[in-house]
Structure 1
Amino acid sequence: MDVTSILDKLNAAQEEAVTSDRQHLLVLAGAGSGKTRVLVHRIAWKIQVDNISPYSILAVTFTNKAAREMRERIDELMGMSLRGMWVGTFHGLAHRLLKAHWKDVKLPENFQILDSDDQLRLVKRVMRSMDLDEQRWPPKQAQWWINGQKDEGLRAAHIQETGDPHMATMLRIYREYEEVCNRLGVIDFAELLLRALELWRDHPAVLDHYQQRFQHILVDEFQDTNAVQYAWLRLLAGKVSGVTAVGDDDQSIYGWRGAKVENILHYERNYPDTHTVKLEQNYRSTSNILTAANAVISKNAERMGKSLWTDSGEGEPIALYAAFNEHDEARYIADRLQSWVNQGNLREDSAILYRSNAQSRVLEAALLQADIPYRIYGGQRFYERLEIKNALSYLRMMMNCHDDVAFERVVNVPPRGIGDRTVETIRALAREDQISMWRASEKIVTEKRMPGRAINAVAVFLELINEMSGQLEELELYEQAENAIQRSGLIEMHKREKGERGQARVENLEELVGACRNFEAEDKDLPILPQFLDQVALDSGDGQADEDQDAVQLMTLHSAKGLEFPLVFIAGVEENLFPHKMSLDEPGRLEEERRLAYVGITRAMQKLYLTFAESRSIYGTESFNSVSRFVRDIPKDVIEEVRLQNTISRPTSYAGSGSMHSDSGDETGFSLGQGVNHQVYGEGVILNFEGNGPRARVHVRFAEVGTKILILASANLMAL
C-alpha cells in the first residue's frame, strides 16, 4: 500500500506518533510543532493502513473552529468525506449523546440548552424566589460556583455541609437551581458533560455500546481538560479503546477556569503502557525566540520536559525596551509598529500582548494618537467594556441626573431591588408627563405610586446620586471616579466575582481612576468632569478597525494561545504585573504564569519585543517594579536592550545580579551606601547605580518592601 501521502513531509517524531501501534499514545507537542498535522495524519493512518472504520474513531477538541479545521483536513487528506466519524468539541459530542438518549437522562426530547445569559437570568429568578439579597449574594458568583461544581463532576447532593454559611447558601441555590432546571427541562453548558458522564455511569449497557463502537479516541489540547472531561474520557476508553492524547503541559494556562494540568502530567501513571512521543521541532519561530522560551519554561519544576528547536536560523535578537513610564512604553510600541508598516509589512501581521486587560487603555490611546488602526482580539476597547460603561454612566449621572440613558443603565447596577416592572413604570410616567426618568422617579417616590418595597429601593438610588453629585466641586477628577466606583458598589460587586473575569473587571475600574488622574483639561476654567466625558466619547467615536481593514491586533496573553504573528510585542513584563501579583505567593499559580510567558514568547515568528516601564501608574497609584523574573531568565546572548537614546547595546541590567553593571553615580547627588528616604517606601540604602546623572537607575534596599529599582528623575529621593 502506498502511504506516501500520509507520511510525506512528516519529520521523524511526527512519523513515530502517526504510525505508533501502541494502545495508548501521549504526544507532547511543543508550540508550533505541528500537532494538528499529527492528529489528522494519525486518523488517516488508522483508516487507510490499519483498516479501521471511520465510525469507530472519536476525535475531541475544544473549539468548534478547531473541530471544523480537523474535519476539513481529514477529508482533504483522505480525498473523501468522512461524515460518519465523530469529530467535535466535548460539549458538542455530549449534546449529540444526550439527544440520542434523552429518555435515559430524563430530559424532554427537544430540551433547551441555556447560554450563559439565559443561565444567569434563571439563577437570578431562583435567588429571588429564595428572597436572597443580590447585593450580598451576587448572581454571577452563584452561577460561577454552580458551574465550578459541575466541572468537578459534583451534584448538589454530592457536596457535604461544612458549617460555612457562605457554602451553605451556595448549596441551597444549587439545589433550587437544579430543581427548576429539571422542572423546566433545560440544561446549561456545564450540565451537558455532567449529564453525559452520568448517562454512562448509570446505564452500563449504553456505555458498553459506545466502548465497543469507539475503539480509537483522539484528544486535542489534552492539557486543558477539566475533571469531568477527563472522567468522561476514561469511562469511554475503559480497558479496550486506545487513546491518543495530544497536548503540551507547558501551555496549560487555564487553571483559573478548571483545567487540570495534572491530567497530562499523570497520564503515564494512569495508563502505564503509554508510549510517549515528544514533538520538539518548531516550524514557527526563530532560534533566538525558542532559546528564550526554553529558558523561561525550564524553571518550572512540574513539567514533563522538552526543548524546542528549529533549523530556520537564529533570526533577530529579542529587543528589550526599558520605558520611563507606561506612556513612553506605548509610544515606543506605536513607533516600532509604524516603522514595521513603512518597511512594507501588514499591520495584521503584528500583535501587542499584555497580561492585564487594563493595560490596553494606554496602548489604545497611543495607537489612536499615531493614527494606527487596531482591533481588540476577542474583546472590547477599554471604554466599551461593560464595567467601564457602568462607571461612566454613574459619572454622567453625577454631572446630570436627567441623563435618561445613564439612568437606565445603572438604576439597578449593582442590583438594588429595582426590577424591570419598576423601571417600566418610571419610563411610562416620564413619557406621559414629558419629564426625565429622574423627575418621574422623584414623583413616584413622593406620591407613593408603587408598592413600598419598590419605592424604598428607588429612593435609596436617588439619595445615592444626590450625595455623590454634592461632592463634585470639592473632589479632584480621579477622586470623583473613585467615589463613583466605590459608593455605587461597582468595585465590590466585581470583587465578589471569582476567577480572572472578576479580577479583570476590578483592574479595569481601577485603571479608569488612573485615566482620570492623568487627564489634562484643555480649559482650566471649566469643570473637568464634562471635559473628560467629552474626550471619552470622542475617543469611542473613532471605533475599532473594520474587519477587513489592515490593523494591529491587541489581546491578552490568554487570548493569544493558538495564534502566531511575524511581529509580537509583550508589554508590561515587570514584577507584580507579569507575573501577576496575585500569583506570587502560590507556587502553582506562579508556574502557570511562567507557562503563560512561554505561550506569549512562542507566538512570535520573526521579531519579539519585550517592554517594561520603570515607573507605572497602576490603577491610579504610581509603582516602581523591577523587570520581570521571566526576562531575567532569558540568556543575555539572545537579547538586546534598546536604550532611551535609540541606541542598542548588550544588556547590563536585566539579567540578574551576576551581570549587573555598576556605575559610580556621578552627577546624581547620591553615592553608594548612602541612606535615603522615599515618600512611599520609607527609608532605604543605595546598593547600585546604572548610568550617571538624573536619568540613572538606582537600586535601593528598603526596610519595609525590599529592593526596588527607581529612576532618579522621578523617584524624589531625600538624602538622610
Structure 2
Amino acid sequence: MNLDTDIYKVNIVQSRISSFKNNLITVKAYNNNAELKTQDDSAHRPQMGAIYERYVKECFKSGAMDFDDLLLKTNELLFKHPDVLHKYQHRFQYVLVDEYQDTNHSQYLIVKALAALNENICVVGDDAQSIYSFRGANIRNILNFKSDYSDVKLIKLEQNYRSTKNIVNAANSVISKNKDQLDKEVWTSNDLGDRIKVNRAMTDSDEAVIVASNIMETKQTDQVTNNNFAILYRTNAQSRSMEEALRKRAVPYRIYGGLSFYQRKEVKDMMAYFRIASNPIDEEALRRIINYPKRGIGNSSIDRMTLAASEQEKTLWGIVENINFENTGLNAGSTAKVDNFAVLIKSFQVMVKEKDAFEVATYIAKQSGILREMQIDKTPEGISRYENLQELLNGINEFVNQENEKSEDQRNTSLAYYLEDIALLTDADKEVDDDGDHVSLMTIHQSKGLEFPYVYIVGLEENLFPSQMSMTSRADLEEERRLFYVALTRAEKRATLSYALTRYRWGNLIDCEPSRFIEEIDDKYLDANFINIKPAIKPIKKQSNTRYYKTNVPSRFNKSNDKKEITLKRSKPTFVPRNFKKINPNTNTRQYADHSYTEGMKVEHDRFGIGVICKLEGKGANKKISINFADLGEKTLLAKFAKLNILK
C-alpha cells in the first residue's frame, strides 16, 4: 500500500485492528463511524480504514482467522444465524465461566447469547481483581450480572486461605475505598501475622538497596531460601535498580514472565549505539544498529560491505566510514545512506571525547532516532519500551552523579567507563542458575494468581502507582486500587511496602509523593515505626491541580504545616542490615593507583565483590586484569578503570 512504516508501525496497526474486532467493529461499521476515523486522522493514520479492509480481505482469501476473529466471527455466526444459535443453546444447557471479571465485550455477548434460552449460568470471579482493562476486560460484566439475569443467587467465597489476618485486613481497608464493587468482607482464620512494614528511601536506588539488604537479612533471621521472596512493581522499567542491587549482593533472581533489564531489545539496541560510539570496530554492535531505526541500509548492502572488508582485510567500520572511496558495488543511493550513517556515528564519537556519559547517552538517544521511534508507539508494549529507555538513561545519570561524588583523581564519568562498569551486569544476565532458588521479580499484573511468603511492593508513589495515566478518571483510579489489592494479597506471611522521596525521570531528580494507597491502609495494620514518622513527612508541591482526585492525596503525609517544596540530594541508603559491613580502605585494604597488580592477588571490586586475579595482559593504558569473582566467575577489566581494593 506504499505507506510510511514510521507512522503505520505493524504493532500499532495490529493493536488498533484488534481493538476494533474486540468491540465488534467491522470494516463497514468503522467506515460509518466518524469518531473512529477522526481519531485515526488525528494520529496521522488516515489510511487505517483501508488497511483494516485490506487485511480482512487477505485473511478471507487465505482462509485464515486471527485470534480476535474467533470472537468476532462467533458473534456474527450466533446473531446472524438464529438456527445456529438455537442449536448451541440446546447443546449447552448449562454455562460455566471462570474469571468472569476479565471478560471483554465480545465474550460477554457470546456468553449472554448462549445462556439466554435456559438461563442456567454460573460465573466465578472477583471484581476486586479486575485489572486488565487495557486488554479489553470490562468490570461491568460482573458488576451487572444480577441485572442481566433473573433469579440470581450470589454465593460469596470470602475466606482467604493464603495470607495473615493483618495482610487480609489491610487489603480490605484499601479496596473498601472503591465505589464500583460487589459488597463483601474477606476474612481468614490464619495467624495475625506481622503488621505491614513501610520503608521510606531518599532515592529509587536507595529503595533497591533497602529491599535487597532486607531480603539478605530475612534469609538469615528466618532461615529461608530465595524462592520465598518476590519483588512486585508497577512498570517493567523499575526492575533495573532492583536487579542491580540484588546482583551486587550476589542474590540470584529471575524476571518472571519477561527478560532481565539489560536483555530487553530496546535496551540492547541503545547499548549497541553506546558501544559503537566508544569503540567503532565493535562489529556486533555495528551490525545491530546500522539499519535501526530503519535508514534504508538493507542486508544486501551490509553483505557487500562485509565482503569488501574481508577482501581488503579491514574492519566493517573501516569500510563504512570511507564508503565514498571504497569499491563495494553499492549504488549511489545506498552509498549516500551509509555515508549519512557514518557521519552520525562520527558525531557521537566526538561527543564521547568531550562530554560525560549521560550527556552523550541523551544526545545519542535523540539523534539516532530511537527516542522518536519509541514516542510514536502508544500501545501498552510501546509505552513499556519507552519507559525502559527512560530508565536506562536514568541509570546512566545516576552513574555520573555517583562518580562526581568521588575525588577528582578517582572520578571517571566517561561513557567508556560506564560501559565497562555495566559489562559484568550484562554478562551476568546471560548466566543461568539451574538450582531454581531465585528471588522473583515481576510486574503486579504478572503476579496475579501467584503467592509468596515474603512480598515487597516497591515504587509506591503518586504518578507511578497509581500511574499518571489513571489520574483522569475514577474508573481508572479504582482499577489501580484493585491492582494494589492484588499485589498486597500475593503475600502469605509478610508484606513490605516502599517508596522513594526522589526518583530520576529523564535525567532529572524529581520530588515524589507517597502513594495514596499507603494512606488508605488503616493505621492498626501498619508497623508502628512507620506511624511514628508520619508527622515528619512533608507534602510535596503539586505539579498540577487538574488531575482527577489530586486534592485527595494522602492526609497521612500532610500533617506538617510546612508547605515548602522538598529538594533532596542523593543520600546514602537509609537502611543497612546488621550483618552488612563495609570494608574500610584505611585499615585492611589499599588501592593501587599505579595498577601494580599480580596474579593470585585477592581484590575487591566496589560492585562485583571479592575475587582473585588469575591473569594479566597488556601494558600501560591497555593493561587488562582477569579476575575470578566468587559469585560471577571470571571477568576481565581494564586496569586503569578497575579501581580495585587490594585485600591483605
Q: TM-score when scaled to structure 1?
A: 0.70
The separation in 2 between residues aligned to 1:586 and 1:388, in whole angstroms, is 32
RMSD: 3.0
Which of 503, 506, 517 is the matching residue for 1:616? 503
In the alignment, structure 1 segments of 5+ residues that lack a partner are 1-129, 642-648, 655-659, 664-671, 682-689, 692-696, 703-707, 715-720
Which residue of structure 1 aligns with residue 27 of structure 2? 156
* 1:699 and 1:709 in contact (8 A); partners too: no
Which residue of structure 2 aligns with residue 73 of structure 1? none
The separation in 2 between residues aligned to 1:516 and 1:206, in whole angstroms, is 61
1:527 Cα offset (Å): 7.2
* CA spacing shift, 1:426–1:355, aligned 2, 3 Å: same
1:534 Cα offset (Å): 2.0
Q: How many residues align?
A: 542
Instruction: Say whether 1:636 aligns with 2:514.
Output: no
The separation in 2 between residues aligned to 1:212 and 1:533, in whole angstroms, is 66
* 1:294 and 1:307 in contact (8 A); partners too: yes
Instruction: Say whether 1:323 aligns with 2:201.
Output: yes
The separation in 2 between residues aligned to 1:158 and 1:420, in whole angstroms, is 41
Which residue of structure 2 aligns with residue 542 of structure 1? 428
Deviation string 1:426-454 (CA, Å, 9 cap, x unpaired) is 44444444433334445666668345554
Q: Where does 1:558-573 land on structure 2 (aligned, <5 Å)?
A: 558-573=445-460
The separation in 2 between residues aligned to 1:152 and 1:701, in whole angstroms, is 47
Q: Which amino acid aligns with 2:288?
A: R
Which residue of structure 2 aligns with residue 476 of structure 1? 356
Which residue of structure 1 aligns with residue 365 of structure 2? 485
* 1:249 and 1:265 in contact (8 A); partners too: yes
The separation in 2 between residues aligned to 1:358 and 1:332, in whole angstroms, is 18
Question: Which stretch of structure 1 is more off in the superposition, 286-295 or 148-157?
Answer: 148-157
Which residue of structure 2 aligns with residue 200 of structure 1? 78
* 1:383 and 1:536 in contact (8 A); partners too: no
Which residue of structure 2 aligns with residue 284 of structure 1? 162
1:474 Cα offset (Å): 2.8
The separation in 1 between residues aligned to 2:497 and 2:68, in whole angstroms, is 38
* CA spacing shift, 1:623–1:310, aligned 2, 3 Å: same
Instruction: Say whether 1:373 aligns with 2:373.
Output: no
Deviation string 1:459-518 (CA, Å, 9 cap, x unpaired) is 443333233333222322111111122222222222222233222211111111111112
Q: Where does 1:398-547 land on structure 2 (aligned, <5 Å)?
A: 398-441=277-320, 449-450=329-330, 454-519=334-399, 520=402, 528-543=414-429, 546-547=433-434
Deviation string 1:340-394 (CA, Å, 9 cap, x unpaired) is 2222212112101111222211111111111111111111111111110011011
Which residue of structure 1 aligns with residue 10 of structure 2? 139
1:616 Cα offset (Å): 2.3
Instruction: Say whether 1:584 aligns with 2:463.
Output: no
* 1:375 and 1:545 in contact (8 A); partners too: no
* CA spacing shift, 1:426–1:361, aligned 2, 3 Å: same
SS in 1 for 2:163: coil
The separation in 2 between residues aligned to 1:409 and 1:327, in whole angstroms, is 30
The separation in 2 between residues aligned to 1:554 and 1:381, in whole angstroms, is 9
Q: Where does 1:288-327 land on structure 2 (aligned, <5 Å)?
A: 288-327=166-205
* CA spacing shift, 1:418–1:188, aligned 2, 3 Å: farther
Which residue of structure 2 aligns with residue 386 of structure 1? 265
Which of 678, 692, 701 is the matching residue for 2:563? 701
* CA spacing shift, 1:426–1:202, aligned 2, 3 Å: farther
Question: Which stretch of structure 1 is more off in the superposition, 632-641 or 193-202?
Answer: 193-202
Which residue of structure 2 aligns with residue 124 of structure 1? none
The separation in 1 between residues aligned to 2:117 and 2:307, in whole angstroms, is 66
SS in 2 for 1:470: helix
Q: Which amino acid aligns with 1:190?
A: D
Which residue of structure 1 aligns with residue 513 of structure 2? 626
1:316 Cα offset (Å): 1.0
Q: Which amino acid aligns with 1:153?
A: L
Which residue of structure 2 aligns with residue 231 of structure 1? 109
SS in 1 for 2:146: helix
The separation in 1 between residues aligned to 2:438 and 2:245, in whole angstroms, is 14
The separation in 2 between residues aligned to 1:174 and 1:356, in whole angstroms, is 31
Deviation string 1:545-576 (CA, Å, 9 cap, x unpaired) is 53433111011111111111111011111212
* CA spacing shift, 1:273–1:711, aligned 2, 3 Å: same
Which residue of structure 2 aligns with residue 351 of structure 1? 230
* CA spacing shift, 1:557–1:245, aligned 2, 3 Å: same
Instruction: Say whether 1:340 aligns with 2:218.
Output: yes
Which of 479, 483, 486 is the matching residue for 1:596? 483
* CA spacing shift, 1:466–1:710, aligned 2, 3 Å: closer
Which residue of structure 2 aligns with residue 178 of structure 1? 56
The separation in 1 between residues aligned to 2:311 and 2:57, in whole angstroms, is 42
- Percent of aligned pairs with the same amino acid: 37
* 2:304 and 2:328 in contact (8 A); partners too: no
SS in 2 for 1:558: helix
SS in 2 for 1:187: coil
Which residue of structure 2 aligns with residue 78 of structure 1? none
SS in 2 for 1:579: coil
1:284 Cα offset (Å): 0.8
* CA spacing shift, 1:639–1:138, aligned 2, 3 Å: same
Which residue of structure 1 aligns with residue 462 of structure 2? 575
Which residue of structure 1 aligns with residue 145 of structure 2? 267
* 1:698 and 1:710 in contact (8 A); partners too: no
SS in 1 for 2:155: strand
* 1:252 and 1:592 in contact (8 A); partners too: yes
Q: Which amino acid aligns with 2:563?
A: R
The separation in 2 between residues aligned to 1:561 and 1:416, in whole angstroms, is 41
Which residue of structure 1 aligns with residue 47 of structure 2? 169
SS in 1 for 2:162: coil
The separation in 1 between residues aligned to 2:304 and 2:98, in whole angstroms, is 53
Q: Which amino acid aligns with 1:546?
A: D
Which residue of structure 1 aligns with residue 276 of structure 2? 397
Deviation string 1:159-190 (CA, Å, 9 cap, x unpaired) is 03535533522222222222233333333222
The separation in 1 between residues aligned to 2:14 and 2:537, in whole angstroms, is 54
* CA spacing shift, 1:416–1:187, aligned 2, 3 Å: farther
Which residue of structure 1 aligns with residue 242 of structure 2? 363
The separation in 1 between residues aligned to 2:104 and 2:296, in whole angstroms, is 36
Deviation string 1:25-53 (CA, Å, 9 cap, x unpaired) is xxxxxxxxxxxxxxxxxxxxxxxxxxxxx
The separation in 1 between residues aligned to 2:218 and 2:459, in whole angstroms, is 21
1:286 Cα offset (Å): 0.9
Q: Which amino acid aligns with 2:239?
A: S
Deviation string 1:38-73 (CA, Å, 9 cap, x unpaired) is xxxxxxxxxxxxxxxxxxxxxxxxxxxxxxxxxxxx
SS in 1 for 2:448: coil
* 2:308 and 2:328 in contact (8 A); partners too: no
SS in 2 for 1:321: strand
* 2:203 and 2:570 in contact (8 A); partners too: no
* 1:353 and 1:570 in contact (8 A); partners too: yes
Q: Which amino acid aligns with 2:6?
A: Q
SS in 1 for 2:254: strand
The separation in 2 between residues aligned to 1:700 and 1:505, in whole angstroms, is 39
Q: Which amino acid aligns with 1:467?
A: S
Question: Which stretch of structure 1 is more off in the superposition, 625-634 or 401-410?
Answer: 401-410
Deviation string 1:641-671 (CA, Å, 9 cap, x unpaired) is 5xxxxxxx361344xxxxx4699xxxxxxxx
Q: Which amino acid aligns with 1:516?
A: I
Q: Which amino acid aligns with 1:409?
A: R
